[in-house]
A and B are shown apart, each in its own frame.
Chain A
Amino acid sequence: MNPVVWQVRSRAELLFEQPMAWTVVTGLALLAAAALATAQGAVDLALVQLPASIVDVDHPFHRVIWDVRLPRVACGALVGLDLALAGALLQTTVRNPLADPGILGVTAGAGVGALVVILFLPGYGEWVPWAGFVGAVATIFVLLGLAASKDGQTGALRIVLSGVAVQSLLFALISLMTYIYADRAPAFTAYVVGSLNGLGWADVQRMLPPTLIGLVAVVAYRRTLNLLLLDDSAASGVGVPVVQARLGAAVVAALLTAAAVSAAGLIGFVGLVVPNAIRLLVGPEHGALLPATALGGAALVIFADLIARTALSPLELPVGALLSMVGGPYFLYLLWKKLP
């Protein structure tokens, strides 16, 4: 055997045996993305000056950093974390790597729910994520009902196709609502593609409660989630209430999705790309998968948003469009690879 090949292989195996190492790696990536994104923008700041500008009230950049950049980075982190975790949960729930809150129409469901409050209850901004949650849960339940075939198994293609169908219906609803109530609706493109433009601390505050609830649930039940990797018969054989556990995971995914959508609109593919990439590195066990997925998702969205607002500056692109440019091809690749 070629010794070089052997060495590479054994190192990969070594990392595989230390899956928590990837939590550290993704954590560092998140720190780096956050630092870069805070320093770069319409006016650039040297990275060495970043700590001073954050702490020192008299620093010329202090206001910009605190009023504009930090809240936006925080929003990006929460959105990325929420969507990546939601993707990982949905993939476990339907036992299908192609699942993603965007592809399955869960973000669109949350989008409809959120729009209802935005359009008809203008004084109740804090209700937006919870209305989104209702929309997302309804979408998931409809989807699981549609996709469950007669033998109780959920076909890989069946659920994706059902998701596409549900999603197109929900998109039609969103476009009708934004068209009819154009005076108070968010801009259709930015909402449907997803963007972090103009987000502030109020949005962070709005996203935090559902995100925290979702995180607590995920941390508490991470071990039970591993049992859902087994087939239904084997899982119920060791005493797992399979249906309830899968529905529970789906509800948490809906909550996390709704939190992200309430601030950033319908950003797609984060939940597809990040968990699948991390799963290749650490394997499917949730104790290692979920922390690295959450941190990696946050890093990805922050980094993508940095590019979105600096690439064609002063024009700010919607970050969702950039993410779809990466995620779309990756989805095609997965389709090609995972489907027989």
Chain B
Amino acid sequence: MSAASVGDPSETLAIEARRLHVRHPGVDRDVLRDASLKVREGEILALVGPNGSGKSTLIRALGRDLDLRKGEVVLEGRPLASYPRRELARRVARLPQDPQTPEGLTVEALVECGRHPHVGAFGRLGPRDLAIVAEALEAVEIAEYRTRPLEMLSGGERRRAWFAMAIAQEPKLLLLDEPTSALDLRHQFELLDLLVKLNAERGTTIVLSIHDLEHAAHVGDRVAVLARGRVYDCGPPEQVLNEETLLDVFRVESRIDCEESGLTMRILGPGDPIRNF
């Protein structure tokens, strides 16, 4: 599993979006217009794109959090719509961008919610569930805060608590909507490292939307660029994140160097000396 995920993602598809048209409830306009995407099993796929290009909407559609107007999502070869709720939750975990934190709920209680799809009708957690919860708390390094109410945590810690809930869900596919937004630089890196670790150790397929292109290149096995409600390009970061795409999609000029150590990106902002070359 993990051997396939490193370098050579297997060709089996974890999830596939086929020609999606999606709009938000009460809005009379499609955000996704004919968006198609193939996510391979065991890979990390980073979605990038300007504001309003449909990143969050695509993530939510893949997690069955929005109704499709047209098109189809296929999870492990079966239509996403055909999965019973709990069976779906055992396979797919999603982390919303800015989840409301219930007042007074403790970190541990939140993470325990992640076990819900695995336990019986009355929600009783067994010893194995409790061990998985403890492990998830350890993995994101917030075990010492487990009895604290969520609102007493910092933004970064709270984000990690939600992340621990998703880990406790033991999904095969994890969908994250801008997991690094509103985090400081160090916490952004910590979170991305956690994703890489989760992917390497458990072979969890990860789809995340992210604004920072260098982070996308750093964390993603592949990068999908969204523009105006469809997938503009999708492939390895060094192929997809090129100067033309950045100009065309993001309307910024850039210089990009591809080296063995990774991608060096220089976005040319206003007043940049080499901008007028």
A residues with a Cβ closer than 8 A to B are 16-17, 150-152, 220-221, 223-224, 226-227, 229-231, 233-241, 279, 283-285
Contact = CB atoms under 8 A, between A and B. Distances in A.
Contacts of A221: 122-123
Interface of B: 25-26, 63, 65, 85-90, 93-94, 96, 99-100, 102-106, 109-110, 112-114, 116-117, 122-125, 147, 149, 165, 169
A20 to B, nearest CB: 13
Contact of A227 (B26, B90, B99, B113): B113
24 contacts: A17-B147, A152-B25, A221-B123, A223-B122, A223-B123, A224-B116, A224-B122, A224-B123, A227-B113, A230-B110, A233-B99, A234-B96, A234-B99, A237-B63, A237-B94, A237-B96, A238-B114, A238-B116, A238-B169, A240-B116, A283-B106, A283-B149, A284-B103, A285-B109
Contacts of B114: 238
B147 A150 contact: no
Given A230-B113, A239-B86, A284-B105, A220 B122 contact: yes
A65 B197 CA distance: 69
Nearest to B90: A239
B116 A283 contact: no
Contacts, number: 82
B106 A285 contact: yes
A-B interface, 6 closest residue pairs, ranked by CB to CB distance from nearest: A223-B123, A239-B89, A239-B86, A229-B102, A239-B117, A283-B104
A226 B103 CA distance: 12
Nearest to A152: B25
Contacts of B65: 233, 236-237
Contact of B104 (A152, A230, A238, A279): A279
Contacts of A220: 122
Find the residue from A233, A238, A283 having the highest chain B CB count within 10 A: A238
Contacts of A283: 104-106, 149
Nearest to B108: A285
Given A151-B26, A238-B116, A285 B105 contact: yes
Contact of B113 (A16, A152, A238, A284): A238
A238 B122 contact: no
Find the residue from B87, B94, B100 having the highest chain A CB count within 10 A: B100
Contacts of A230: 99-100, 102, 110, 113
Contacts of B109: 226, 285
A262 to B, nearest CB: 29
Contact of A223 (B26, B94, B124): B124
Contact of A239 (B85, B110, B112): B85
A16 B109 CA distance: 13
Contacts of B106: 283, 285
A238 B149 CA distance: 20
A236 B85 CA distance: 8
Nearest to A221: B122
B90 A229 contact: no
Given A226-B112, A237-B96, A283-B105, 20 more contacts: A17-B147, A151-B26, A226-B109, A226-B113, A227-B123, A230-B100, A230-B102, A230-B110, A233-B96, A234-B96, A234-B99, A236-B65, A237-B63, A237-B65, A237-B94, A239-B86, A239-B90, A279-B104, A284-B103, A285-B109
Nearest to B117: A239
A241 B96 CA distance: 18
A103 to B, nearest CB: 19
A235 B123 CA distance: 13
A106 B26 CA distance: 30
B85 A284 contact: no
Contacts of B89: 237-239
Nearest to B147: A17
A48 B18 CA distance: 78
Contacts of B87: 239
Contact of B99 (A150, A226, A231): A231
A90 to B, nearest CB: 16
A182 B96 CA distance: 58
A236 B106 CA distance: 20
B136 to A, nearest CB: 13
B226 to A, nearest CB: 21
B85 A16 contact: no
Contacts of A236: 65, 85
A241 B99 CA distance: 18
